Amino acid sequence: MSEIKFSERLNERINVLISRFPEDKKKSALLTILHEVQDENNHVLTVPLMDKIAEILSIKPIEVYEVATFYSMYNHKPIGKYMLEFCHTSPCCQKGVENLMDYTCKKLGVEQGQVTADGMFAVKGVECLGACGYAPMLQLGDYFHEFLTPEKIDKLIEDCKAGKVEMISKV
């Protein structure tokens, strides 16, 4: 039995998500539950958190791990306040995203996957985000930043530092 305790709000939300599926298909709520649990836990899904989800869904922990480690939107270590997720699939690569990632890493003084010493930024490569026509692009929170250039990246980082960047869409 897991020692982890979710907040009342999170438990209620999980119950609503599970109720959308037949009793023997509770696992269908897994992707959304992972998002909800991650959001309430500093954007990091630890093993104990994933074990708790498995317990709630009456599935094996491995069934949670295999999903949570497959998709890049789930994090298993701290990501920093602003995680710059660059698409590094072919169309974005052809438009120079790798150079832009190198540029960004150098500018922030990190390697890909690392968080800056002040905990503000991380740079991550992810698979196609479905905005290939706007390559090269990155995702920050709920928003896409497209047709990237070094100048646009400079401005985005400055805006983040100034607290001017929205992370969550109001839609």
CB of 167 to ligand FES, least distance (A): 19
Burial class (CB in 10 A: 0-12, 13-18, 19+), 130: exposed
Burial class (CB in 10 A: 0-12, 13-18, 19+), 138: buried
Q: Is residue 78 a contact partner of residue 114, using CB atoms and an 8 Å limit?
A: no
Q: In terms of CB distance, is 56 or 97 closer to ligand FES? A: 97
Decide if residue 87 touches ligand FES (CB under 6 A).
yes
Give the DSSP H/E element, type plus range, for residue 82.
strand 82-87
Q: In terms of CB distance, is 82 or 86 closer to ligand FES? A: 86
Q: Which stretch binds ligand FES (CB under 6 A): 4-12, 109-117, 126-134, 157-165?
A: 126-134
Q: Which stretch binds ligand FES (CB under 6 A): 32-40, 57-65, 124-132, 152-160?
A: 124-132
Decide if residue 137 touches ligand FES (CB under 6 A).
yes
Decide if residue 91 touches ligand FES (CB under 6 A).
yes
- The count of residues interacting with ligand FES (CB under 6 A) is 11
Q: How far apart are CA 131 and CA 122, in angstroms?
A: 21
> Which residues, listed in sequence order, are joined to residue 144 by a DSSP beta bridge?
139
Other CB atoms closer than 10 Å to residue 114's CB: what's the count?
16
CB of 131 to ligand FES, least distance (A): 4
Q: Which residues bind ligand FES (CB under 6 A)?
A: 87, 89, 91-92, 128-132, 135, 137
